[in-house]
Structures are given as structure tokens and as C-alpha cells.
Structure 1
Amino acid sequence: MTEPAYQTMTEEEYLRWDGPRDAKWEYVDGFVYAQAGATNPHNRISSNIQRVLLNATDDGPCWTYISDQKVRVYRDGRPRYYLPDIVVVCDPQLVGDTETQPCLIVEILSASTRAIDETFKATDYRQLDSLQGYLLVDSERQRVIFHRRTAQGWQLEQVAEAVKLPCLNVSLSVAAIYRNVPRL
């Protein structure tokens, strides 16, 4: 996230707001944050992951969204709206144009987003009852981390070769993620 707008908004104002088109906007604790533009490696990684996910959703009840789908979470009873890089949904629960029941969320890390994605967003996303996995993919070096919901709670996996993704029951390899991405 970048610096917040200086004036606060209510949730209703944010959902009606049609902010400047040169950025995407997340809503956290009454503040609106512009999202930084994506780099070439970020976009290639996103496309590579989406290619695998689209093939896995071809004939099933699930589908994927890329970067413009709002996901609503709550922290301390207050709503937050994030725009994950990729969202997989198998049981749609849209409220307006906002998803509330994702089963898999992917964030692609960069210097400007890494700390937020690995801490605040990880905590907030894992509060969603529907979420089965949270995949973090680094765009500046080959590093993939997967948070998996299990019967015992959340497990963190450092992905060396491939990860079996929940919801879609598909394997995503590190090689596929970083295919045609300039050497990191």
C-alpha cells in the first residue's frame, strides 16, 4: 500500500466512490490507499499463475479474478477492502461488486507491498472462514510461501518445487510461476 488519502471515508462512501482511474484503491480503517502499479515480472508471474488456474476452473464450479476484485474482510469489527492479485472463488457471495467467500488468494510481493502482504493482509485473510489457502509469490527473487488451512489451524509452507492448491485440486510448480520471468 502507498500513503493513505488524508481524509477518511465511511464504508458506504468508499463503495460509491469512483476515485482517480490511474490507481486501484483499497480501504482500511476509514482510509483509502492507492495501489502501486505492477512491474513486468509481477505481470508475468500473475499471468503464469492465472494460466494454471484458468485451466483448472475450465469445467468446474470455481473461477478466478485478477486484481480488480474487492475482497471484504473484518478486523475488530471494522470492514477492510483489499484487491488481491488473484482470487479464486467456488461459492460466490458477492455483496455489490465485493467478494466475501474466496477459497484461495494470491498476492505477488514487491518491495512496496511485502510487509503488508506478509503481516496485516495475511492475518486479515486468514480470518475468512471460506479461505483454504493464501499464496505469496515474490516478484524480486524466486521465493514462494503458502499458508494452508488444516484441521489443526494454519500451516506455513516454503514451496521448493510445487504446491497443491486447495479448492481447485491443482498443482502449481515454481517453474510454472516463474516461466519466462527475467532471472531474479
Structure 2
Amino acid sequence: MTDPAYRTMTEEEYLRWDGPREGGKWEFVDGFVYAQAGASRPHNRISSNIQRVFLNASEGGPCWTHVSDLKVRVSRDGRSRYYLPDIVVVCDPESTEDYEENPCLIVEILSASTRAIDESFKASDYRRLPSLQGYLLVDSEGQGVEFHRRKGDDWEIEVIEDAVNLPCLDVSLSLDAIYRGTTL
């Protein structure tokens, strides 16, 4: 008998599970595990460009930046979800888990296969995190950047045309820096 195409698992099973031998990255939503597609060359270049700016800004400070393998745990309707953002900035040196519950800044790099989820479900879920000060969405198929900034209990959305001042790392990130070395 073969395994069903979809099966559920508990949160504890997911956190112990390493996925199939082929590797890959897996998100956990409402008991289901979803494979994350590999990234394009522009996606990887954009991620490296942003990470370069973030690493320089975090040098000697209280925050650290993680690329794509740090799970972020959010809760919706009493159920845990685990996402793997492209970049996570954490300013909580006490965290010892293999996942983060208190990120300060999250970056998602959009592609055709992730755009709808990153702009809707994930945006909604990330905004539930009390520690989150900003959520940056960066297009990998054309130049386009949107920043969701916490303003008290509300969120303000900024379409970035030149540069954006980001919280947590107190750094300005320009479109030129984001898209350097790409053909976008």
C-alpha cells in the first residue's frame, strides 16, 4: 500500500521530521506539510544582496539575520504554523529553539509560485506576531518592493520607489542594492 498524497502530522512530529531523503524545505500549516520550491537565480541574487546589507548593519548590534532555514512559528485559531521566510531578523538573544517566535523583521522574495500566499496568508499570519516591526516583500520577476510597517496596533503599507528605512537594524535599503547584479 502506498502513502496517501496528503497526510497530516502533529506539530511535534513536524519538528522532529527531517523530510524525505532528497532534502528540501518544508512548511507546516494546519497539520499539513508543504514542500518549498527551489529558488531562481534572480531570487538567490536578491537574497544575497539583502543579506549583505543586513549583515553589515547588524555588526556589533543586538540583532542577527538568518537566511531561509529558520522556521518562524505563528499561531492562528489556536493552531501552530511554521513558515520558512527568505530572511528573518531576530533581536532576541535568549532564543534557543530551532524556530523563532519573536522575529523583528521578515523578508519574503516573491515568485509566481509564492506570490499569492506571501501577500495574503503569510502577511496576515506574520502580522499576528507582536514582536514583528516590518514585513518586506520583494519581487524576483521585476523590480517591485512593498514594505508593511507596524504603526502601533495598525499596519501601514509602503510601495518603495527608491529606498526604505527598516526597523530593527536601523538601515536604509535601496532598490539599487536589492537588485544589484540582476537583469531586472
TM-score bucket of the superposed structures, by smaller chain:
over 0.9
Distance 1:85 1:108 in 2: 6
Task: State the Cα distance separating 1:158 from its structure 2 match.
Answer: 0.1
Contact 2:62 2:93 in 1 (8 A): no
Render the CA deviation track for 1:101-149: whole Å, top value 9, x for unaligned.
0000000000000000000000000000000000000000100000000
Q: What's the secondary structure of 1:60's corresponding residue? A: coil
Cα deviation digits, residues 60-81 of structure 1 (max 9, x gap): 0111000000000001110000
Question: How far is 1:18 from its partner?
Answer: 1.3
1:15 aligns with 15
Match of 2:6 in 1: 6
Residue-pair matches, total: 180
2:104 alignment partner AA: C
* Matching residue of 2:33: 32
Query: Percent of aligned positions with the same letter in both sequences?
Result: 74
Q: Tell me which residue corresponds to 1:98.
A: 99
**Are the equivalent residues in 2 in contact too, given 1:93–1:100 (CA < 8 A)?**
no
Separation in 1, partners of 2:96, 2:29: 18
Instruction: Provide the residue aligned with 1:138 in structure 2.
Output: 139
2:67 corresponds to 1:75: no
TM-score normalized by the length of structure 1: 0.95
Quote the offset at 1:95 in angstroms. 5.7
The CA deviation at 1:91 is: 1.4
Q: Compute the TM-score of the two structures, normalised by the length of structure 2.
A: 0.95
Matched residue SS, 1:94: coil
1:168 paired to 2:172: no
Deviation >2 Å, runs of 4+:
92-96
Deviation digits for residues 148-171 of structure 1, max 9, x if unmatched? Answer: 001251000000000000011100
